[in-house]
């Protein structure tokens, strides 16, 4: 029998049992739809949470000074710890696992332009602040190393500050006065939905070089002079994160005479650790939803196998007649195998088309926070196709082998006796 004849017989047989065939195909299609949609939703949620976290900062640790809770070097516990303006230089030198170590100093100032005024937070840090705190430029530029080294009076405005001081007017190149000190606006910030903060949202701040900040807006009594509010630290990678934290604590402990294990003396807001914890939750959720989809798919495969076994039983006489007329075991095996593969592949293909179409339609509507849409990818498609192929083979092998093993004489007697 040619492949064309085999395919025609397969279609005729399936059409003759169309209700049973359609119900079976629905089970497989629903399994594919379930696994694709659930994994795509999990990917979209994980991506949304990650992007929302990065609005605050990417792999950044904020190190605050506190009070000692342990005795060290003959000193009592309860001592006040504050970072000095130049601590970051030594910490960076002794912490090779850390990509960035920088000070951050913030104070409020009376700010005015030619059009409006107000009390606005001023923040001074080093140029890599823009990278690790996800401060994107809308117009102009952020300050650079030369601006910091020369202590230039340049300012980068948060998006809300730009609106407050200039409304819809051009801000870059204009002058603002901060505590009556003139500064040239060199750039403005792109708006962002910041998900957390330790001293206010970035859109409501003005950013200036660190050396300019400590000259014009230093901490004043009763605060300790020549101190900074915090240190910002970023590791080279997730693999160097633990070493970075260990080296950071060791150096700060030596500089300020406290035990490096004293977490009260140097508290760390660790977004790297938080991101890892959130990612584990997301991965666990994706695995759970994927397992539910796989289980649904395998149930569909069992349904196909049961239907084909029933088909083998109902067609016992047909199999016996064909084998009596010279049909080989191989041809019988091929026909039932092809019928099963046809049902599974067609239903699986329909399931993939429906699920990807559904994801595309969902992505056309506005997304809520922490969710970037139904994210499908070639990995999801490849996994679905692999599972579909596995289900096809497992569903086809036993019924096809059962049909090919029928003895023609016994088959004729069975049907005649029925």
Quickly state the pLDDT bin for 85 (edges 50, 70, 90): very high
Higher pLDDT, 25 or 175: 175
Q: Decide if pLDDT at 32 tops 90.
A: no
**Lowest pLDDT segment from 43-47, 162-166, 227-231, 387-391:** 387-391
Instruction: Using pLDDT thresholds of 50, 70 and 90, give the confidence band for residue 369.
Output: confident
pLDDT on residue 268:
93
Model confidence band, residue 416 (pLDDT cutoffs 50, 70, 90) = very low
| CA-based nearest residue to 242, from 133, 94, 95 | 95
d(CA 162, CA 166): 6
pLDDT over threshold 70, residue 3: no
Structure token pair of residue 402: 């059962």
Q: Phi/psi of residue 17, each to 5°?
A: -120, 45
Mode of pairing for the β-strands spanning 206-209 and 61-65: unpaired
Cβ-based neighbours of 272, under 8 Å, separated by 6 or more: 59, 60, 61, 235, 238, 241
- Nearest partner of 337 among 264, 410, 392, 378, judged by Cα: 392
Query: What is the rounded distance in angstroms from the CA atom of residue 356 to the CA atom of residue 412?
Result: 48
Contacting residues for 325 by C-beta, under 8 A, at least 6 apart: none
Structure tokens at 35: 């696994």
Q: Confidence class of residue 47 from pLDDT cuts 50, 70 and 90?
A: confident
pLDDT tens track for 113-142: 999 999 999 999 999 999 999 999 999 999
Is the model's pLDDT at 187 over the cut of 80?
Answer: yes
pTM: 0.69
pLDDT number for residue 19: 74
Confidence of residue 403 (pLDDT cuts 50, 70, 90): low
Write the pLDDT tens digit of every residue in 306-322: 766 676 666 666 666 77
What is d(CA 306, CA 200) in angstroms, rounded to the nearest whole number? 63
What is the DSSP code (8-state) at residue 228? -
What average pLDDT score do residues 277-296 get? 74
Percentage of the residues of the chain whose pLDDT score is greater than 70: 82
| pLDDT at position 418 | 44
Q: Residue 417: pLDDT above 60? A: no
């Amino acid at each position: 029998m040619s492949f064309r004849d085999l395919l025609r017989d397969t279609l005729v047989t399936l059409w003759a049992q169309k209700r049973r065939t359609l119900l079976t195909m629905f089970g497989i299609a629903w399994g594919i739809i379930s696994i694709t949609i659930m994994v795509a939703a999990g990917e979209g949620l994980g991506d949304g949470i990650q992007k929302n976290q990065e609005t605050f900062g990417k792999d950044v640790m904020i190190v605050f000074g506190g009070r000692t809770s342990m005795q060290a070097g003959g000193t009592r516990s309860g001592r006040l710890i504050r970072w000095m303006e130049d601590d970051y230089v030594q910490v960076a030198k002794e912490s090779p696992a850390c990509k960035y170590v920088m000070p951050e100093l913030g104070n409020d100032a009376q700010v005015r332009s030619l059009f409006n005024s107000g009390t606005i937070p001023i923040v001074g840090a080093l140029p890599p602040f823009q990278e690790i705190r996800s401060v994107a430029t809308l117009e102009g530029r952020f300050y650079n190393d030369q601006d910091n080294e020369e202590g230039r009076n340049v300012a980068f405005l948060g998006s809300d500050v730009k609106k407050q001081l200039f409304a819809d007017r051009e801000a870059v190149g204009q002058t603002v006065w901060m505590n009556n000190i003139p500064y040239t606006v060199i750039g403005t910030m792109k708006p962002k939905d910041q998900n957390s903060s330790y001293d206010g949202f970035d859109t409501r701040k003005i950013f200036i070089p660190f050396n300019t900040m400590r000259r014009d807006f230093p901490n004043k009594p009763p605060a300790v002079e020549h101190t900074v509010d915090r240190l910002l630290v970023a590791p080279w990678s997730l693999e160097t994160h633990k070493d970075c934290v260990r080296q950071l604590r060791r150096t700060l402990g030596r500089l300020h005479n406290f035990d490096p294990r004293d977490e009260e003396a140097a508290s760390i807001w660790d977004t790297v650790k938080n991101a890892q914890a959130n990612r584990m939750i997301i991965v666990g959720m994706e695995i759970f939803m994927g397992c539910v989809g796989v289980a649904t798919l395998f149930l569909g495969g069992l349904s196909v196998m049961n239907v084909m076994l029933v088909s083998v039983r109902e067609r016992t006489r047909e199999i016996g007649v064909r084998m009596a007329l010279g049909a080989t075991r191989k041809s019988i095996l091929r026909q039932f195998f092809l019928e099963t593969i046809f049902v599974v592949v067609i239903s699986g293909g329909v399931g993939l088309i429906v699920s990807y179409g559904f994801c595309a339609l969902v992505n056309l509507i506005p997304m809520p926070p922490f969710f970037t849409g139904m994210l499908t990818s070639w990995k999801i498609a490849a996994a679905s196709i692999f599972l579909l192929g596995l289900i096809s083979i497992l569903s086809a092998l036993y019924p096809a082998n059962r049909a090919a093993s029928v003895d023609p004489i016994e088959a004729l007697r069975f049907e005649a006796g029925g």
